[in-house]
Structure 1
Amino acid sequence: MSGGTHGIRHVVWLVLIVLVWTAAQAGARPDGVDMSANIDEHDIAGTSVEKPLRLEPDSTIRVAIELTNNTSDPLEIRHVDLAGHVLGLSFYSYSTAVELTVAPGKSESLRYRLELRGLSGQAVGLIGGELAVYDGSGAAVAAIPVITDVRGSLWSVYGLFGIALAVLTALGIADAALTIARHRLSANRWRRGLRVLAPGLGIGLVFAFTASVARWWVPDTGLWLAFAGVSATVAFLLGYASPTPEPDEELDDDSDDVDENVDEAEPYRFPAEGPKP
């Protein structure tokens, strides 16, 4: 069972690494570039949980982008990326190569069709994403956040990610429950709290994943961390405030019986003439 706890600890480290990576990747984009876009004639800037952009696997969507270059340099666009992110990780991504140059002070439009091949195996549920345009060096020039309703499969990469979280959390809960049932919790309150903290963290992560797949809301990084932090804190406090485990009474009784048998045993005495050769 200890493997389940170790697995959830790895998830904790993954969350921390993702946060650092996301902060490092959040570079400044050029100022003075205005972007608007619509997909299937719907403005993606107006997407929300109530009105998400519905993405059907193996369908074709029409993308229209308008860019205004308010800078003093020509703006070269080399590819457009539609991607969905969870905890800083991309679970679906469609990149389209384009060739568009926007002169200073000018506006240009870009229109193309995008086939969503393989989407069913990539993600499912409400996922926050963005439509971004990149220059020749690979730097993001402009982007528009979009909330997508992906009609994929639970056995997609994102679905399996959530299932793995659920399995690791179940193993962690079973490990903690077995430890409590066997009175193996540490007498130190801090150690008891830390022992049940990992399953609590997993519960929060699984709840956030369930909210995404059930299409209740979009669990962005802030919500994931909020759920995980609250559930981990509650679990830690429960472990910290739990009664100090007492020694097993059956073991004490057995040790007392052994001591009594030792005390009652009569020592062996050799005959007066000494031991026989």
Structure 2
Amino acid sequence: MTLLCTGTAPAAAQTTPSSDDPLAVVVAVAGQDITDRTVTLDPVRAVDLDLTITNTGSTTRSVRLVRVSGEALALDFFTFDTTLPFTVPPRSQVTRSFPLDVRDLDGQAIGLLPTSVELLTEDRVALGSAETVVDVRGSLWSVYGAFGIAMLALAVVLWSSTLVALARHRLPGNRFRRALRFLPAGVATGLVAVVSLSVLRLVAPEPEVEIPLVLGAAVVAMLLGFFTPHPAGPATVREDATAALPRPVP
């Protein structure tokens, strides 16, 4: 086999910016970049956001909205849209500042939440974004707090019903089926752990935290179900007693 190497550059050089390249967005609060740090959002006062947007493409990009949203477990728990029309010419940089009114946060979230700041077009197409973690000083009875309380109640109900069935010898005799019976309680426990760590401001519910916690709790619950003793119920006891009786000699 012969390899032919030439010095000809590719038809489309990789360094050539595309007109569809996303805008580079830097967001600052109180003069500090929000990337890789935790930003506190207090519902009692607005926060000023400073945006620095760089367009490395070859076409002018038109921004219509700035969206600030926080999510956990793939669910959005707060979203703020601010109309801020401006354009970013090709190969240029612009800056914009605006106050973000977060008074509704008190009833929407509490604790640490991964948050994104997105630039959207008129048709709600994302042009660029910046990511951070916010510490929401909201109420425990907010939507996110109520979600955590509901998950806790669900976990208690699931564990109670499973353990009662275990005590009454009503679980399946097959170990794998018993493990599956414990699975929902384990998943609910993992969700409670994710929300609790967030509300207590210990760990933000990011995917690299959420997935291991939920999967880990599910696996532990299934192992508990798998290794529980065989459910020797009344019917099984009667069968064992009958088998133990001496058989008449013919």
Q: Please indicate, yes or no, whether the TM-score normalized by the shorter chain is above 0.5.
A: yes
Alpha-carbon distance, 1:100 to partner: 0.3
After TM superposition, list the pairs within 5 Å mapping 1:201-216 onto structure 2: 201-216=187-202
Aligned residue in 1 for 2:31: 41
Q: Distance in 1 between matches of 2:235 and 2:173?
A: 16
- The residue number in structure 1 matching 2:6 is none
TM-score by length of 2: 0.84
Q: 1:111-131 deviations in whole A, cap 9, x for unaligned?
A: 111111211000000101111
Q: Which residue of 2 aligns with 1:92?
A: 78
Partner amino acid, structure 2, of 1:174 = S
Which ranges in structure 1 are unaligned for 5 or more consecutive residues?
1-28, 257-277
TM-score by length of structure 1 reads: 0.76
C-alpha separation in 1, matches of 2:119 and 2:75 = 18
Given that residues 80 and 131 in structure 1 are in contact (C-alpha distance below 8 angstroms), is that contact kept between their aligned partners in structure 2? yes
Measured in 2, the distance between the counterparts of 1:53 and 1:199 equals 34
Determine what percentage of the aligned residue pairs are the same residue: 32
Partner of 1:126: 112
Whether 1:247 aligns to 2:233 is yes
> Residue type matched to 1:46 in 2?
D
Which portions of structure 1, spanning 4 or more consecutive aligned residues, are displaced by more than 3 angstroms? 249-253
Residues paired across the two proteins, number: 223
Give, as a single letter, the amino acid of the residue that structure 2 aligns with 1:37.
V
Give the alignment of 1:34-73 within 5 angstroms.
Answer: 34-47=24-37, 52-73=38-59
Look up the equivalent residue of 1:40 and give its one-letter code. Answer: A
Counterpart-to-counterpart distance in 2, 1:226 and 1:250: 39
**Paired residue for 2:21, among 19, 27, 31?**
31
More helix by share: 1
Structure 2 portions without partners, runs of 5+ = 1-18, 243-250
Q: What is the rounded CA distance, in whole Å, between the counterparts of 2:204 and 2:55 in structure 1?
A: 32
* Residue 148 (str. 1) matches residue 122 (str. 2): no
1:105, distance to aligned residue in structure 2 (A): 1.5
| CA distance in 2 between partners of 1:99 and 1:79 (Å) | 7
Match of 2:8 in 1: none
Q: Give, in whole Å, the separation in 2 of the partners of 1:165 and 1:207.
A: 10
- Counterpart selection for 1:182 from 168, 173, 182: 168
User: Which position in structure 1 is the counterpart of 2:90?
Assistant: 104
RMSD: 2.0
Following superposition, the deviation at residue 247 of structure 1 comes to: 2.9
The answer to whether the Cα contact below 8 Å between 1:123 and 1:152 also exists between their aligned partners in 2 is: yes
**Which residue number corresponds to residue 192 of structure 1?**
178
Per-residue deviation, 1:251: 7.9
**Corresponding letter in the other structure for 1:31:** D
Distance in structure 2 (CA, Å) of the matches to 1:105 and 1:235? 55
2:212 pairs with 1:226: yes
Q: In structure 2, what is the Cα distance between the partners aligned to 1:250 and 1:239?
A: 19
The answer to whether structure 1 residue 78 and structure 2 residue 64 are counterparts is yes
Q: Taking CA–CA contacts closer than 8 Å with sequence separation of 6 or more, which of the two structures ends up with the larger relative contact order?
A: 1
